[in-house]
Amino acid sequence: MKKIHIFIMLVLSATSCSLEEYNPSGSTAEAVYSTPEGFETLVNAAYSYQRWWYGKEEAINVSEMGTDIWTSAAGDVYPDLSSYNSLQGTNSALATLWKALYSGVNICNAGIARIENVDLTNKRKIQLKSELSFLRAFYYWHIVETWGGVHFTLTETSGIVTTANKTPVEKFYEQIISDLKFAADNLEVKTADYGRVTKPAAMAFLARIYLTRGLNDEALKLCTSIIKDYDYELEDDYSDLWKMENNHSKEILYVVNYATDLTLNDKKDDILNPLGHGRGSNNAHMMYLMKYDNLPGLTRSIPYGRPFNRYMPTRSLLELFSEEDGRYEASFMEEWRANVKTKNLNIGDIAAIATRKIYDGNREDKSVYDINDIYKANGEVKDRLHYPTLTKHLDPTRTNYNEAQSAKDAIVIRLAEVYLIAAEAEMNLNHNDKAAYYINKVRRRAAKPGKETEMEISSNQVTLDFILDERAREFAGEQLRWFDLKRTGKLIERVKKMNPDGAQYIQTYHLVRPIPQEQLDAVTNRDEFKQNDEYK
């Protein structure tokens, strides 16, 4: 569904702790949102704030970096987030996300409070309230996991805000679970408007929440229902998940969708979208690409992407994939072929190689970077410009090689995660045989042809670390990793073991991020609303 994300912001969804107020049209919320058309606009705007999280550089950094599987490439603009070195509330990525997420919460609060006074059918009211409840839970989950027990309210903010509260994490989760249960109970099973939340999508997100809170039986019940009662299927070939022509995959339960008409996305607009991001659309396609376009025989191209050179895999991530696992080749590029003729290269010749293996071939007439050129044996990075490149987000349909916007949808939840949530819940319940069953569903699909049996595991191989390894292989670059490590209590241990850049700086207080300093400066009750512990 491409139409719901048009921004028509008639009143500012004011961020908590902000002293700003915005009303470009002069209209009042009461006058506009009391009409059926106006209320539909409110719901559309509530969806749009998801785009600050999925497919944007700031949140890609927050959700993938500072983990065991990614580290800074040469172009990383938020190295303090990536390595925890001198991370403080002045970080601009965190400030951007705080504003967007609380704006999303506020517009959901406004809609839920107003819906009974709108001239809609009862069925439509329940549907829209369910969508808003899901979205409020979505935004609050990202807030509480990122910053911990910070500001919480169910009341719409419509004017200047000068105070904020610190609310226990448990209160956040109580509301998140309540909202998601309401959504799962009342949403339609399917939607004709691709991108709107459905019943199974709400169930899957609730299962993720239950797993986070240690409610394993509840998580397992939801996962079992999704697997048995709905018509989602794993793609036969893992690589098909990333094809633009398969943007509506049968495996996907929920996406943050982007329009092929780029003007409908969230590029900055001072009138309709005051919090807008200058690049708009999904720009994940640029983040994981090595610097290839200054090498002999290579120039920037649509197939190879626009290389922002922000993030690179850790050596540990590259070493997680076995030779039987087809997900590595489906996720990473190791070879670049010449697209300009040189004295020694014809178009189509291999021009560059960046490989996770030791390269013992001919290095003449090509640029070669093997595992030992890129990393030291202990995982320390030697070359932050050249490395195997994540290709999941590439978009060959962009109109030119410099286009920063992509219409590729950002996957939020897919069936493979449902299987692995079920596996983790079963393991937590001491049912390792059942956990292996669910893991093997994912691993058989991941196997190279004829290697399915070799990819299967037995119940005695099921451990928390194995599940985290499997989630890394399956979901690398899909904005889940930091939350996976935090949920399992493994963030610090695995960063210290597998990410030398972060190992020297990460501390226990880094399990939450610093509150943006501009928010602290904007409140008057600074004795109550303080920075998270240990941050300055």
Per residue in 183-242, pLDDT tens?
Answer: 999 999 999 999 999 999 999 999 999 999 999 999 999 999 999 999 999 999 999 999
User: Given a cut of 70, is residue 420 above it in pLDDT?
Assistant: yes
Banded pLDDT at 260 (limits 50, 70, 90): confident
Position 161 scores a pLDDT of: 78
Arithmetic mean of pLDDT, 473-498: 98
So what's the pLDDT on residue 281?
85
Instruction: Give Cα 80 to chain centroid, integer Å.
Output: 19
State the pLDDT at residue 10.
Answer: 33
pLDDT at 275: 55
Question: What's the rounded Cα separation, in Å, for the pair 215 and 201?
Answer: 18
Q: Distance between CA atoms of 536 and 530, rounded to whole angstroms?
A: 10
Q: What is the pLDDT of residues 170-181, one digit of tens each?
A: 999 999 999 999
The H-or-E segment that residue 119 falls in is none
Q: What is the pLDDT of residues 319-365, one digit of tens each?
A: 999 999 999 999 999 999 999 999 999 999 999 999 999 999 999 99
* For range 243-252, the mean pLDDT: 95
Picking from 89, 84, 99, the residue whose alpha carbon sits closest to that of residue 49 is: 99
Phi, psi of 13 (to 5 degrees): -80, 85
User: How much is the pLDDT for 274?
Assistant: 53
- Over residues 409-424, mean pLDDT: 98
pLDDT at 278: 59
The pLDDT of residue 418 is 98
Task: Answer whether 340's CB lies under 8 Å from 347's CB.
Answer: yes
Neighbours of 236 (CB within 10 A): 9
Task: Give dist(CA 501, CA 110) in Å, integer.
Answer: 43
**Model-wide pTM > 0.85:** yes
Rg of the chain over Cα atoms, rounded to whole angstroms, equals: 23
Euclidean distance between CA atoms 380 and 532, whole angstroms: 30
pLDDT band at residue 157 under the 50/70/90 scheme: confident
H/E stretch holding 337 reads strand 335-337
The band of 11, judged by pLDDT with boundaries at 50, 70 and 90, is very low
Lowest mean pLDDT among 16-30, 189-203, 452-466: 16-30
Average pLDDT value over all residues in the chain:
92
Tokens 């025989």 -> residue: 297
Query: Dihedral of the CA atoms 336, 342, 344, 350 (nearest 10)?
Result: 10
Among residues 50, 46, 211, 64, the alpha carbon closest in space to that of 131 is found at 46
> What pLDDT, on the 0 to 100 scale, is given for residue 263?
72
pLDDT at 266: 65
- What are the contacts of 272-275 at 24+ separation with CB within 8 A? 272/7, 272/8, 272/9, 272/24, 273/7, 273/9, 274/9, 274/12, 274/22, 275/52, 275/96, 275/99, 275/100, 275/103
What's the whole-number mean pLDDT along residues 68-87?
98
pLDDT at 478 over 70: yes
Is pLDDT above 70 for 14?
no
Q: Measure CA 474 to chain center.
A: 14
The mean per-residue pLDDT over the stretch 31-51 comes to 90
Q: Could you tell me the two tokens for 489?
A: 């209590």
Please list the residues that pair with 267 across neighbouring strands. Answer: 277
Residue 12: pLDDT band by 50, 70, 90 thresholds?
Answer: very low
- How does residue 63 score in pLDDT terms, banded at 50, 70 and 90? very high
Sheet holding 350-354, edge to edge: 335-337, 350-354, 367-369
DSSP 196: B
Question: Coil, strand, or helix at residue 484?
Answer: helix
Three-class secondary structure assignment of 381-425: ECCCCCCCEECCCCCCCCCCCCCCCCCCCEEEEEHHHHHHHHHHH
In the chain, the percentage of residues whose pLDDT exceeds 70 is: 91
Q: Which of 92-106, 267-281, 283-297, 493-507 has the lowest mean pLDDT?
A: 267-281
Instruction: Write down the pLDDT at residue 261.
Output: 79
pLDDT band at 159 (very low <50, low <70, confident <90, very high): confident
Q: Two tokens at 73?
A: 């490439």
DSSP H/E element including 79:
helix 79-83
